[in-house]
Amino acid sequence: MHGEPATTFQLTLPDWLAEFACAPPVCADDDARIAFAIELARRNVEHGTNGPFGAAVFDGAGQLVSVGVNQVVAQRCSLAHAEILALALAQRKLQRFRLNGDGGHYTLATSAQPCCQCFGALIWAGIDVLLIGARGEDVEALTEFDEGPLPADWIAKLQRRGIRVQRDLRREESREVLREYTRRGGARY
Amino acid sequence: MHGEPATTFQLTLPDWLAEFACAPPVCADDDARIAFAIELARRNVEHGTNGPFGAAVFDGAGQLVSVGVNQVVAQRCSLAHAEILALALAQRKLQRFRLNGDGGHYTLATSAQPCCQCFGALIWAGIDVLLIGARGEDVEALTEFDEGPLPADWIAKLQRRGIRVQRDLRREESREVLREYTRRGGARY
C-alpha cells in the first residue's frame, strides 16, 4: 500500500464542543432540539473551515445523547458529516448499533436536510424522529454543497420505516447560517 | 448525557486482516479486484458474527489501498459496512477527503451491491469505478439484510457523476458467500 497500512480511523468532535459533552442540556420539544442543532452549525461556521451543519441525538426525555458538526475538511474524511458524527457517537455511548434497539425513542435533529449519505445512514441507525431545519434546495442555493441523489419520495420512504419526519423547523434561521458560511468564503476560507 | 460523554469514535479492521495491510497485493484487472473483495467477505463469514460483505479500494495501477469488512455487530456501529471502512481507511491513508482529488484513479470493489448508506457515501468519496459482485436482490433473497431505499436509477446516477459501474462480477461466487452466512445462522450465530 501507499505509506503506512491503515487499519483504523477515528473521528473526533472539535474541542469547542466539550462544553456540551460536560453539561448536556435537556431540550423538551422539537423546537428546542432544532434550535440546538442550528446553534451547533452556527458555531461550526464561526470556528473554522468545515461545512455549516450541526446535528444532535436526543432520547425520549429530550436529554442530549450526542452532538455532531461537519468535520470533512479538518479530518480529511468525506464521512464526517454532522449527522454521521452524531449517530456514531450516540451508538458508541449507548453501546449498540441500533439506537432504539432497547425499545427507547430517539430523535435526530439536523440543521439542514440530510444528503444522500446521511439519508442512508440514518435508516440503519435506529432513530424514531428526524427533525430538519433548512431544505436541500436551501443548501444548494446558498452554499457550494450538493445534496446528492435521494429517492424522489425520500420522506415517504423514511415514514414507511417508522421514522417521523418534520422539516422547515426554524428554516430561516438555518438558512442564515448557510448564508454566513458563504459570506465568509465557503470552503475556501 | 448517559454515562461518559462520547467525543470520539473509531472503527478498526479485525486482526485477521493484518496480513493484507502488511503485504498488499496488486490486482491487475476488474476480475482480480472483485475476487479479492469476495475473498474478504468469505473470510469475514468464517471469522465471526458480522455481515458477509467485503470491499477494497485500488489505485490506478491496481495496487491495494485499503480493505474493509462488515463490522456492525462487533463494533456496535451501523456505519461499519465494508465499503465505509474501505473508503474511510483509504482517505486516512492518502490524507484527503476526496480520493481522486489528486487526479488519480480509484476503484472500489465490493462483494455485494452497496446499500443506501454506502451508495450515498461512495458518491462523496472520490472514486472512479465501482465493481459489484452480488446484486441487492441476491442479498435480500439469501440473507436477512435489507438494501434500503436507493434511487430507482441508481446506476445512472453514479455514471452521471463520473463513476463507472460494473456489476454481476463473479456474482455466483458472492452469492455462495451469502448462502454460507445464512447456513451458519446469519446474525444470530
State the pairing for strand pair B107-112/B129-134: parallel
> d(Cα A98, Cα A106) in Å, to the nearest integer?
10
Who among A94, A150, A154 is closest to B2 (CB)?
A: A94
Give pLDDT, residue B189: 40
**Could you tell me if B115 and B51 are in contact, meaning their C-beta atoms sit under 8 angstroms apart?**
no
A94-111: average pLDDT: 97
- For residue A189, pLDDT over 50 is answered with no
Q: Does B19 touch chain A (CB under 8 A)?
A: no
A56-84: average pLDDT: 97
Give pLDDT, residue B22: 67
- For residue A3, pLDDT over 80 is answered with no
**Average pLDDT, rounded, for chain B:** 93
**Average pLDDT, rounded, for chain A:** 93
Which position has the higher pLDDT, A189 or B151?
B151
Using left for φ > 0, alpha for ψ between -120 and 50, and beta otherwise, residue B110 falls in beta
Question: Per the CB < 8 Å rule, is A157 touching B151?
Answer: no
Question: Per the CB < 8 Å rule, is A22 touching B10?
Answer: no
Q: Which of B27, B33, B28 is nearest to B166 (CA)?
A: B33
Which position has the higher pLDDT, B145 or B23?
B145
Give pLDDT, residue B20: 72
Share of chain A above pLDDT 90, in %: 88
> d(Cα A158, Cα A130) in Å, to the nearest integer?
9
- For residue A121, pLDDT over 80 is answered with yes
Share of chain B above pLDDT 90, in %: 88
Please report the number of interchain residue pairs, chain A to chain B, with beta-carbon separation below 8 angstroms.
187
Secondary element (H or E) of residue B8: strand B8-12
Helix (H, G, I), strand (E, B) or coil at A152: coil
Q: Which of B50, B87, B46, B84 is nearest to B176 (CA)?
A: B46
Who among A95, A98, A116 is closest to B123 (CB)?
A: A116
pLDDT band at B6 (very low <50, low <70, confident <90, very high): confident
Cell numbers linked to B63: 495496487
Helix (H, G, I), strand (E, B) or coil at A37: helix
B74-91: average pLDDT: 97
pLDDT band at A1 (very low <50, low <70, confident <90, very high): very low
Residues of A in contact with B92 (CB under 8 A): 6, 9, 76-77
- For residue B4, pLDDT over 70 is answered with no
Question: Per the CB < 8 Å rule, is B120 touching A124?
Answer: no
Residues of B in contact with A101 (CB under 8 A): none
ipTM above 0.90, yes or no: yes
> d(Cα B133, Cα B168) in Å, to the nearest integer?
5
Cell numbers linked to B68: 474493509
Q: What is the DSSP string of B91-150?
A: HHHHT-SSGGGGS---EEEEEE---HHHHHHHHHHT-SEEEEEE-HHHHHHHSS------
